[in-house]
Chain A
Amino acid sequence: MAEIVFAAGAPHAPGLIGLFDAAGGNTQAVVRDTYTALAREIREAKPDVMIVFANDHLANSRVRSYPDFLIGMAGEHKGPHEWFKPWIGCRDYVAKGCPDTAEALFRGMNRRGVRMFAERENLNFDDNISVPVVITDLDKTDIRLVPVLQNCTVPPFPDQRRCYEIGQALAEIIRDDLPAGLRVGLFGSGGLSHEPGGARYWFIDEEFDAWFLDLCTEGDHARLLNEVTIERMEASGSGGTVELLAWFVVLGAIGERRGRGFGYTAHQNFKCGVGAVNWPMDAAGQDALQTAGQGAA
């Protein structure tokens, strides 16, 4: 029986790295505080493997034959893909892979009725995986990475309820299929509100972002599932905000629990709202949140 020891959701906007130096002081402070805290939480949780769910961004498959989930099974994961380097502005990285866990995830999902696809070659990573890896220096740790790139943009795609169910299947796989004692981290990479490629490319829906982050820190999964629909996310930024579906996979895996936020910034040049949530997986972490008055599940 393996266990989930870390869970978080956080944006991967390329500007977090490439446009950081040009951002204002408050924005820089929120970004620095958020990702420094996440990096610290990751190291303290000591996961053996980090499974990152993230929007594929049409980076790996034709739109005519587009998988809803694509698991990276490589022994190491290199990025960013060549074309995205100047856009993201981040360093190259090589993260250790975990083929055994990737295979167990692939096998376990398909046996549970969740059609996933898998690739042993290095996938094309843009900001989806590159930003969380580089900004937390995950590649400089011994933590092994299993990327799962998901379809958030080629309709029809799994909605919030289906992604949550897939998260529940993920929890089963971690509990029943992965080796005893394995420590697993879960990272939902994407969001908050943004509209890449749309007429509202510069738009950030601060009201939506604050509401969504509150629901996540409160751990109110019924409201998240009932109210954060694809239509609602699309209204807050078409084609971008829906990548919060990656967070729903994590939420389904961890069940209702309080979360910790790290502030919020809506810096227009990032073209994306920025705020993250970490859900402590141990009783002490949950108790600390209750004592601090954060979250209300």
Chain B
Amino acid sequence: MGLEKFDPTLVSHDLVQDLKWNPELRAEFERDEAAVLDRYDLLPAERAAIEARDFRALYDLGFHPYLGGQLARLIYGNDAGDKANFAVGKLVESLQGDT
């Protein structure tokens, strides 16, 4: 898996970068994910993939893998130890078709 499917027009790239850069948005995402997603012009399949934590589907749509790792940490945890490793595990499970 590489960058061959990468599509720079996907709006979900903006979503992940905004979540990184804006702690208030990040807090809202944790509280009310749907409300945040409502404000982004996501493709239906893009939104469904995010809501289902289906990284495989998101990558197939053209999502950048580096931001995929960060989306996993935004969802599952971002500390240097167990939480980030849990996030990596969930991401890899999805990409390898184990979920």
Chain A interface residues toward B at CB < 8 A: 14-15, 17-19, 22, 57-59, 62-64, 81-83, 86-89, 124, 153-155, 196-202, 234, 238-239, 269, 271
Nearest chain B CB to A28 CB, angstrom units: 15
Contacts of B14 in A (CB 8 A): 62
Contact A196 B92 (CB under 8 A): no
CA distance A200 to B68 in the complex (A): 13
B78 close to A271 (CB less than 8 A): no
How far apart sit A88 and B92, CA to CA, in the bound complex (Å)?
20
**Per a CB cutoff under 8 Å, which of A81, A82, A87 touches B84?**
A87
| Given A18-B80, A58-B17, A201-B3 contact (CB < 8 Å) | no
Find chain A residues with CB under 8 A from B17 CB: 58, 62
How many whole Å from B7's CB to the nearest CB in chain A? 9
Contact A239 B2 (CB under 8 A): yes
Shortest beta-carbon distance, B93 to chain A, in Å? 10
**Would you list the 3 A-B pairs with minimal beta carbon distance, nearest first?**
A18-B80, A197-B69, A197-B65
B88 at the interface (CB under 8 A from A): yes
CB-based contact A22/B81 at 8 Å: yes
Q: A83-B20, A83-B78 are in contact. Are A58 and B67 (CB under 8 A)?
A: yes
Q: Note all chain A residues with C-beta closer than 8 A to B91.
A: 197, 201
Say yes or no: B13 contacts A62, CB within 8 Å.
yes
Q: Is the interface of B mostly helix, strand, loop or mixed?
A: helix
B88 and A64 within 8 A (CB): no
Partner of B65, one of A89, A239, A269: A239
Task: Please determine whether B67 and A87 come into contact, CB atoms closer than 8 angstroms.
Answer: no
Residue of A nearest to B19 (CB): A83
Which single residue of chain B is at the shortest CB-CB distance from A152? B66
Chain A residues near B26 (CB-CB < 8 A) = 83
- B40 at interface, CB cutoff 8 A: no
The one of B9, B79, B95 that contacts A87, using a Cβ cutoff of 8 Å:
B79
Q: Which residues from A are CB-within-8-Å of B92?
A: 199, 201-202
Given contacts A57-B66, A58-B64, A202-B92, whether A238 and B1 have CB atoms under 8 Å apart is yes
Most buried by B among A19, A81, A239: A239
| Bound Cα distance from A239 to B69, whole angstroms | 11
Query: In the complex, A174 Cα to B1 Cα: how many Å?
Result: 39
Known contacts A83-B78, A269-B85, A124 near B69 by CB under 8 Å: no
**Smallest distance from the beta carbon of B26 to chain A beta carbons, Å?**
7
Interface centre among A22, A59, A89, A197 (most CB of B within 10 A): A197
Min C-beta distance of B68 to chain A, whole Å? 4
Contacts A153-B3, A238-B3, A239-B65: A197 and B80 contacting too (C-beta < 8 A)?
no
- Among A63, A124, A153, A154, contact of B21 (Cβ-Cβ < 8 Å): A124
Q: Chain A contacts of B1 at CB under 8 A?
A: 198-200, 238
**Complex Cα distance A33/B8, Å?**
41
B97 to chain A, nearest CB (A): 9
A153-B3, A271-B88 are known; give 7 further A-B pairs, CB within 8 A.
Answer: A17-B80, A19-B81, A58-B64, A87-B80, A202-B92, A238-B65, A239-B2
